[in-house]
Structure 1
């Protein structure tokens, strides 16, 4: 006497489905994480550019660059948990220059692009990589 086939899944079918999900997850999760890091890098670059615009407007109005950024200066997508923006000024000296540095923090600390630097000349650099690799992404 034969048993009628059961309408459920066999253990082999279930294991195949689990294996496919694991394989898709190992591909999708790193890609998603890299995408999120790229978004945070873009936020940091936007913050540097916004601070640079403020400095240029202040220099136009006062004839020299300020010695510090205002405390209330925040950028549109404040990523303060992932980057901090530091300001180095040589205002008052003969060269009257500044450098803005976006330093990685938190989940962004291990990012391959490192910290971002923006100078008074508009030159943008990534510390760990070339500007083309990280400023354009």
Structure 2
């Protein structure tokens, strides 16, 4: 008389499942991390554009660019952001200019796209880029 096999999984079946999970994890986790870094980059670009719009409205109303960003801009008061927005102003007789800089911090410090810059002319650039990375790629993503 034969006995039916006991219900459940064999050790080999369990090890196959574990191996599949590990393989999926090694592919999924880096992709997810890059996705999250991309979200933070997009957030920084949006912050730069928000600050630029405010500066242009203020310059239109007052005739000159302000010398600093207001405290009530979303970016200037939110410490949870992965970038800080800095403002460099140059005022002269006919050369009122500014540069906005989104500087990495926290988990973005090792991001390949570096720090974003935006000037009064609308020129978009990035500093401290990783190897084989171009600013146009970072601004476009």
Give the TM-score normalised by structure 1. 0.91
1:133 aligns with one of 125, 132, 137:
137
**Hey, which bits of structure 1, 4+ residues long, moved more than 3 A?**
78-81
Q: Residue 74 of structure 2 aligns to a residue in which SS?
A: coil
Structure 1 gap ranges (5+): none
CA distance in 2, matches of 1:42, 1:84: 13
Q: Deviations over 1:40-94 (max 9, x none)?
A: 100000000000000001111111111111111115xx57431100000002354
Aligned equivalent of 2:28: 28
Structure 2 gap ranges (5+): none
Structure 1 residues 32 and 89: CA distance shift in structure 2, 3 A: same
Aligned equivalent of 1:59: 59
CA distance in 2, matches of 1:51, 1:101: 10
Q: Residue 100 of structure 2 aligns to a residue in which SS?
A: strand
Structure 1 residues 113 and 37: CA distance shift in structure 2, 3 A: same
Give the TM-score normalised by structure 2. 0.89
